[in-house]
């Protein structure tokens, strides 16, 4: 995860030769819960 301009969080995974974007979450979003729900 990385913060972007203090207003959004970008969840990503870096694989051997690609970057996978898993989500862009804006201020006030409970991104941790959303990510954990998507893993179930």
Count of domains in the chain? 1
pLDDT tens by residue, 21-39: 888 887 767 777 777 777 6
pLDDT number for residue 17: 92
What is the total residue count of the chain? 40
**pLDDT band for position 9 (50/70/90)?**
confident
**Residue range of the domain that includes 10:** 2-39
How many degrees, rounded to 5, is the angle at CA 7 between CA 4 and CA 10?
45
Q: Is this model's pTM higher than 0.85 or not?
A: no
Helices (H), the chain: 31-39
> Could you tell me what percent of the chain has a pLDDT over 90?
10
Mean pLDDT of 9-27: 85
């Amino acid at each position: 995860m990385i913060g972007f301009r203090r207003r959004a969080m970008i969840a990503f995974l870096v694989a051997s030769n690609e970057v996978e974007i898993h989500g862009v979450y804006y201020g006030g979003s409970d991104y941790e819960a959303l990510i954990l729900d998507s893993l179930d």
